[in-house]
Amino acid sequence: MDHGNVTRRTLLTASAAAAPLLLLPRKSEAQVAVLPPSPPTTPWVEELPLQDTPLAPTTLNPVPTLSSNLAAGECGRVPHQRYAELTSPAGRTPVQYQLTAKENPSWYFNADNPYYPAQPIWGFEGNTPGATTPGPTIHARYGKPIMCRIRNALPQFASGFGSPEISTHLHNLHTPSESDGFAGDYFSATKAGPTLTSPGSYRDHFYPNLYAGIDEFGGIGDPREALGTLFYHDHTEGVTAPNVLRGLSGRYNIFDDLDSGDERTGLRLPSGPYDYPLTFGDRRFDVDGRLTFDQLNPEGVVGDKVLVNGKIEPVLRVARRKYRFRLLNTGPTRFYELYLQNRGANAIYTYTVISADGNLLPAPLPNQTGVRIAPAERSDIVIDFSRFPLGTELFLVNMLVQSTTRRPEKVQAPGTRVLKFVVDRNPAEPDTSQVPAQLRLLRPLPSAAELATLPVRRFNFERSGGMWAINGRFFNVFEPTITPAQGSMEIWELFNLDNGWQHPIHIHFEEGRILSKTVNGVPVPIPPHERGRKDVYVVGENMSMRILLRFRDFRGKYMMHCHNLTHEDHAMMLRWDIV
Ligand SMILES: [Cu+2]
């Protein structure tokens, strides 16, 4: 099968043409295609590792080059912008990492279960043999750039859904365009996306790990722009949903002197073994227990099984102390609202929310019970297990009911248990971590007078011909819809004119601030967790939002798209360029 551009476009055209036949009337509650449920699973057998071990740096061979090293097999990309300037100060020599996208032929989603055989997944391999999903976690530090070589060793004649080219996006790092993982920049040894000049077996991504505002503030930028919880994932045009579904994602945590990764310094948040990523994703399996998906269906498929770190219904053993859990929803479709509940399902316990997406909040939100995360949203929470006696079993329960790909429906008990905690030991050392009353300062918003002078752009997220569009247009890899000037500031208005859907809209590059929100044209309050910086904006039914954005430090092509990955693949995406 040819996986090149022509095939991809043909697929999209074919699905657009077929869409009216596939789709039922919009307000029908019926599913587009009624799939049988996934086979029964065996809960609480898979054990998650006690801690997340970050990927170790490596020494890249051949050495990275400013322009692509075609002779050594790198794909044809444009040179890294501002590279010499951003890496020349003392201590800024990039740390080198390597990730290899490849197949793992025998992954267990749910061990000791006759319905779920070992099966191939796609994942990332770090320094030891074997690809995993999620891939290895990278721990980065502000002021310490990274050169990350991403190799493509996926089987080139893959069967099933997805396509074995990759373009890896590091979700919202302040990254130069050519390293951002643009949807047209996909490659394999034999295929190049339309915005690359030649195929290749690898690609070097330069991650400066500098705060936004390098030009405005000098040095390493504005520390108020720090990010913390990021993730990398495939972003290949038209096949992001199936490629991510097959496993192409992983985590990237970034630290600085405040969010230090050390319980003795800075904010002293739970760190090291007690700073733990939890990656959620919805999946559906066929009667033989094999992962399934319908990539031609513009309504997608909502999974009825929830993966936590690549496993169904796993167990995590925890010590009696505080933990920071970095919650991430990789989608493709399901939203979650997560409660901490006891074994008898008659008590719900609180936790503290400290971040929204990649950004620490100005102040923690204590006594929370049901954090909601749409696809691509992240939330870091701190759970204190010192409240519980040894041997206590607790569950993370998703109480958000969602039976279609369109939107979550309601919050309802008893919900679905997705992860079991067992409080099985006292900490080796006293817990000296804390959640201070103040986390990270926000830059004050511009004055109302200044806001009134800014350019305003309107984007309608809508359905069009059975596909998904922005302002009536489908994604065009070649044409920027808008071209903001480097260093400028704008207000973007996101409108969802549809009452049947929710769209988690992701804007690449810089985080935004929600200035106002309306539902049916009536102003509504911005909830506390959305009052900081965000990079995913959940635009609900008949909702609009005004968002303040800056475009600093780099130039080139970026994207805005729905992060319901099916909507993204079926063209609810646009290219915008900083010029
Ligand atoms: Cu959407």
- 567 C-alpha to ligand 1 centroid (Å): 5
- 79 C-alpha to ligand 1 centroid (Å): 33
- 536 C-alpha to ligand 1 centroid (Å): 12
- Are residues 377 and 292 located together in one domain of the fold? yes
- Are residues 412 and 500 located together in one domain of the fold? no
- 391 C-alpha to ligand 1 centroid (Å): 42
Asked whether the CA dihedral 473, 474, 480, 482 is positive or negative, the reply is positive
| Residue 498 CB neighbours (<10 A) | 19
- 570 C-alpha to ligand 1 centroid (Å): 10
Indicate whether 35 belongs to any domain.
no
Range of the domain at 523: 448-578
Indicate whether 552 belongs to any domain.
yes
- 564 C-alpha to ligand 1 centroid (Å): 5
Indicate whether 163 belongs to any domain.
yes
- Are residues 229 and 297 located together in one domain of the fold? no
Indicate whether 73 belongs to any domain.
yes
- 126 C-alpha to ligand 1 centroid (Å): 32
- Indicate which CATH number applies to the domain containing 212: 2.60.40.420
Indicate whether 12 belongs to any domain.
no
Q: CB-based contacts of 235: which residues, under 8 Å, 6+ apart?
A: 167, 168, 169, 181, 182, 183, 559
Q: Could you list the pLDDT tens digit for every one of the 579 residues in the chain? A: 333 333 343 344 333 333 322 333 333 333 445 678 999 999 999 999 999 999 999 999 999 999 999 999 999 999 999 999 999 998 899 999 999 999 999 999 999 899 999 999 999 999 999 999 999 999 999 999 999 999 999 998 877 899 999 999 999 999 999 999 999 999 999 999 999 999 999 999 999 999 999 999 999 999 999 999 999 999 999 999 999 999 999 999 999 999 999 999 999 999 999 999 999 999 999 999 999 998 888 888 899 999 999 999 999 999 999 999 999 999 999 999 999 999 999 999 999 999 999 999 999 999 999 999 999 999 999 999 999 999 999 999 999 999 988 899 999 999 999 999 999 999 999 999 999 999 999 999 999 999 999 999 999 999 988 889 999 999 999 999 999 999 999 999 999 987 789 999 999 999 999 999 999 999 999 999 999 999 999 999 999 999 999 999 999 999 999 999 989 998 999 999 999
Indicate whether 287 belongs to any domain.
yes
- 463 C-alpha to ligand 1 centroid (Å): 9
- Tell me the C-alpha distance between 507 and 560, whole Å: 4
- 541 C-alpha to ligand 1 centroid (Å): 11
Buried b (16+ CB within 10 A) or exposed e, 406-434: bbbeeeeeebbbbbbbbbbeebeeebebe
- 534 C-alpha to ligand 1 centroid (Å): 17
Beginning with the edge strand found earlier in the chain, give each strand of the sheet holding 573-578 in spatial order: 480-482, 573-578, 556-562, 503-507, 536-539
- 84 C-alpha to ligand 1 centroid (Å): 39
- 240 C-alpha to ligand 1 centroid (Å): 14
- Are residues 419 and 380 located together in one domain of the fold? yes
- 299 C-alpha to ligand 1 centroid (Å): 10
- Are residues 301 and 225 located together in one domain of the fold? no
- Are residues 111 and 198 located together in one domain of the fold? yes
Indicate whether 51 belongs to any domain.
yes
Query: How many independent structural domains does the chain possess?
Result: 3
- 353 C-alpha to ligand 1 centroid (Å): 26
- Are residues 395 and 481 located together in one domain of the fold? no
- Are residues 365 and 239 located together in one domain of the fold? no
Q: pTM above 0.85?
A: yes
User: Is residue 560 within 8 Å of residue 459, measured between CB atoms?
Assistant: yes
Indicate whether 311 belongs to any domain.
yes
- Are residues 355 and 452 located together in one domain of the fold? no
User: Is residue 97 within 8 Å of residue 146, measured between CB atoms?
Assistant: yes
Asked whether the CA dihedral 213, 214, 218, 219 is positive or negative, the reply is positive
